[in-house]
Structure 1
Amino acid sequence: MFPDFARAPNIADHPDVYERENEAIDPTGVLWRALRAEADWAGRTIVDLGCGTGFWLPHYAADPGTTVIGVEPDPDLRALATTRVTTPVLAGSAEHLPLDDASVDVIHARFAYFFPPDCEPGLQEALRVLKPGGHLVVIDNDWRHGEFGALLTRSSWATAQGTADTTDEWWHARGARRTEVMSSWRCRDAAELESVLRIEFPPDVVDEWLADHPGRNEITYGYTLFTVTA
């Protein structure tokens, strides 16, 4: 276990529900296309940093000639990831990447570690392992747009993630390109959406939203991508 490891209870305590959450993300593929536009990984080496149970690893590996590496600090999640892919899933974290200098082309960090302002060590470690011209793409929540963002602003659980202004200023100071992507989470039914929301937000926040939106199986969701080039 890494000394700076912080367990993520939404996925660690509810891996099955989190799996449904991943399936609901980006139903029209707009986020996936935006990620490719930022840094196409086809035929290159890509690292999924904080890969969790490995849900996205097969999606990356679907491109012929692409080398995919998962990195995950949580031993339980890492064990689950190794059961679904043949690609390497390594023990590591943002601050401790088990990779050589200048060895990868693209790193994706999806809601993992990079919550400014206290994430400089992870950024420097990412820049160490990226090849010159390689890209770190951080997939973050857009706190300003979408129904999910509005829930974040009311959630005591999200306090540790800072604020939109703090995050934007931190990445701007480090030369990151900022891209907004509007999408949604679309679940199979209202019960599934409720279960997903309950692992992400306090009960009172979810209860109020459900009362105001009965029967909904979809919630609008804004992403912010921060891209840093080595």
Structure 2
Amino acid sequence: MKQHDLAAHQFGTTAAAYLTSTVHAQGQDLQRLGAMVQQAPPCRALDLGCGAGHASFALAAAGAQVTALDLSPEMLAIVAQEAQARGLHGLQTCQGPADKLPIAEASFDLVVTRFSAHHWPDVPAALREMRRVVRPEGTLIVIDAVALESPLCDTLLQTVELLRDASHVRDYRVSEWAAMLDQAGFAAPRTDGWTLTMDFASWVARMRTPELRVQAIRDVLDRAPQEARQAMRVQTDGSFDLSVAWMQAQPRAGSGRAH
């Protein structure tokens, strides 16, 4: 199964769990997105890889006209249903891949992706598409899990992420994001970071990880070097701290749009 199909299948079967997931449904980053829209109306926003739509809901509730785009039709159905229930009439859904957007160039004031890019097979191509569809004076915001700069911690995180979810590609380091954004035609990002504690039981349950893989994750975490366990604050039950980054960037003047 190709990566796009694998990701769509994985999240199509777990769509409802992501709507109610505390990790995804809450966070000061959602409030921050809403505040950005309120400070600079009117706003046309694209939520790229929208998942269960939490960023879309925050943007639309603040007054933005939102396009929620995802690969999974099951996810998009949940977003549309929940938007209707919340009375968010300025939200529409669109199905498609991040690296080949079915959208005209310079269509959006704000392009957001939240907890999605680590599933994309070609992030540089997706960033070029984001550069194409954002207006010259617009803003891109990437919110995603990131690997620590330590190769040891990086390897440990990618290993457990892939065991938990076969559609995982990579939690990029902040330094890697900066390089990819530069290559896509964005100015250097302003970056903030925080950590989320991944409760092991709900983390694997949300993705319906098979028991054999759950056991493998526990074994990998148990046997990981002390430095990595300490850096990720691995607990006795397997719960651990995941680093998250908010990266905000504007199109670089004179860079042109990637085609």
Structure 2 equivalent of residue 192 of structure 1: 202
Aligned match of 2:70 in 69, 72, 76? 72
Aligned with 2:68: secondary structure? strand
Question: Identical aligned pairs, as a percentage?
Answer: 21
Ranked by relative contact order (alpha carbons within 8 Å, sequence separation 6 or more), the top structure is: 1
Contact kept? 1:10, 1:18, Cα under 8 Å:
no
Contact 2:47 2:111 in 1 (8 A): yes
User: 1:180 maps to what in 2?
Assistant: 192
Write the distance in 1 (CA, Å) between the matches of 2:14 and 2:160: 19
Give the AA of the match of 1:41. V
For residues 53-102 of structure 1, give each alpha carbon's deviation from its aligned partner in whole angstroms, at most 9, with x where no partner exists.
Answer: 32332222221x32121112222222222211142001222233333322
1:213 matched residue in structure 2: 235
TM-score, normalization by structure 2:
0.65
Runs of 4+ in 1 over 6 A off after TM superposition: 114-117
Higher helix share: 2
3-state DSSP class of the match of 2:111? strand
Aligned residues: 218
**Structure 2 vs 1, CA of residues 180 and 69 (structure 1 numbering), >3 Å: closer, same or farther?**
same
After TM superposition, the structure 1 = structure 2 runs for residues 1-230 of structure 1, keeping only pairs within 5 Å, are 5-8=4-7, 10-21=10-21, 23-25=22-24, 29-32=27-30, 40-42=36-38, 43=41, 44-63=43-62, 65-86=63-84, 87-113=91-117, 118-144=122-148, 152-155=157-160, 157=162, 160-161=169-170, 164=173, 166-174=176-184, 175-185=187-197, 191-193=201-203, 195-196=205-206, 199=209, 202-203=213-214, 204-206=216-218, 213-214=235-236, 219-230=240-251
1: CA distance between counterparts of 2:58 and 2:161? 33
Tell me, which stretches of 5 or more residues in structure 2 are unaligned?
A: 85-90, 224-233, 252-259
Question: Highest Rg: 1 or 2?
Answer: 2
Q: Which ranges in structure 1 are unaligned for 5 or more consecutive residues?
A: none
